[in-house]
Amino acid sequence: MHGHGGYDSDFSDDEHCGESSKRKKRTVEDDLLLKKPFQKEKHGKVAHKQVAAELLDREEARNRRFHLIAMDAYQRHTKFVNDYILYYGGKREDFRRSGENDKTDMDVIRENHRFLWNEEDEMDMNWEKRLAKKYYDKLFKEYCIADLSRYKENKFGFRWRVEKEVISGKGQFFCGNKCCDKKEGLKSWEVNFGYVEHGEKRNALVKLRLCQECSFKLNFYHRRKEVKSKKRKNKAKKDCEESSHKKSRLSSMEETSKKKDKGHSSSKKSENSLNQNSDEEEGTSESELWKGPVPETDEKSQRKKSNCACI
């Protein structure tokens, strides 16, 4: 039985063959349209040796790349050196670098450090000077730390304080000498520090806090200027002014009180004298009353007396 519905036909096979050929043509055309320019042809047969070798090389290169990426910089360097010696020959000592010119950050700072930075020093700045300037900005420049080990030669070393020394109080609440940690009897000194830096002579005014022994070492040849706190001076001035004001007030109060006392005494005296006079008059009048009758005065005689006085 061929076909559907149980009917036979002699042309059924030809129709099926035509449909299959049309489908094949369509698939080939679609493959040509969808083919990319970098896409290689499909090998239906066994792969060629060259193609297999290329695929292996790609896989090896990919594995090598992943292996190198996983390595550290130093491990990668040693691998390349070993490969070079393996293929080209040579000694391992030839690849060892000399560490004579190696410098750390501290070496760079020591070479380019300045005690005080001016505008001229900041004109031509390279990375080494910028590093030294950055370190200088972090220092605390109120009090100095001194090296008085060569005080008999009249040579002193000064440097600014670091954050740890500021927190611990070294140089302000403890003696500023680097080998001394005394806390009692500290004095402030102002020193004109002359030094040579990068072939230039420079001067700087520096403040120090030293104990009695270290201040003796500092003033071994000639005495430096002692700095006294302005607060104490102001307090002393204020105390003197207040005491003078108090004295003037007291003196003025005493004078006013004396004047008042004098006024009271004079008024009391006048009152007493008046009282005495009144008492005497009353006493006399009373005594006269008890003696006898009051004497009569003639009006005529009084008038004559007054007229004589006018003439």
> Tens digit of pLDDT per residue, the chain (311 long)?
444 455 555 555 555 556 677 777 777 777 767 766 766 666 556 667 888 888 889 999 999 889 889 999 999 988 888 888 888 888 877 777 777 888 899 999 999 999 999 888 888 889 999 999 999 999 999 999 999 999 999 999 999 999 999 999 999 999 999 999 999 999 999 999 999 998 899 999 999 999 999 999 999 888 887 877 665 555 656 666 666 666 667 666 776 666 655 555 555 555 555 555 555 555 555 555 455 555 555 555 555 444 444 44
Q: Which pair of structure tokens corresponds to residue 82?
A: 């070993």
The total number of residues shown for the chain amounts to 311
The predicted model scores a pTM of 0.47
CA 239 to chain centroid: 35
Confidence at residue 273, expressed as pLDDT on a 0 to 100 scale: 58
